[in-house]
Structure 1
Amino acid sequence: MLKECRCGSCKRLLARVGRYTELQIKCSRCGTLNHVKATSLERSPVSDMRAASPAQPDQSPHR
């Protein structure tokens, strides 16, 4: 689901965004730099897969 990201000053629609952790957009109408952060960080499916797989031993040669 996409959410609208509007300028905090002039309310112009800047973008429609999905998942994000941090976003900065400068409004082309009034020049305000808008900074948005996620309220919570969700784990990605890739992170979940890595956590479920067994740890790989270090393959680098030791001298």
Structure 2
Amino acid sequence: MLKDFRCGTCTRLLARVGGFTELQIKCPRCGTLNHARATSPERSPESDMTAARAAPHSSLQ
């Protein structure tokens, strides 16, 4: 079963994931670095996901 992974700042859909141990995606809309990881490798990542977000990254141009 796939689960939606959305940006923690702007809620844009970033991915649909089925299973992972660690996932890190930068949002193309707002620049927030979204990070999620399974709390335990023996458990289902979909049910034990912890999410954290970092501050948006500014472009250096």
Q: TM-score, length-normalised on structure 2?
A: 0.65
Instruction: Name the amino acid aligned to 1:12.
Output: R
The alignment's C-alpha RMSD in Å is: 1.4
| Aligned residue pair count | 43
Q: Which has the higher contact order (CA 8 A, sep 6+)?
A: 2
Alpha-carbon distance, 1:41 to partner: 1.1
User: 4+ runs of 1 displaced by more than 2 Å?
Assistant: none
- Gaps in structure 1 of 5+ consecutive residues: 44-63
Matched, 1:21 2:21: yes
- Gaps in structure 2 of 5+ consecutive residues: 44-61
- For 1:36, the equivalent position in structure 2 comes to 36
Q: TM-score, length-normalised on structure 1?
A: 0.63
More helix by share: 1
For 1:3 and 1:38, the matched residues in 2 are separated by 13
For 2:29 and 2:23, the matched residues in 1 are separated by 18
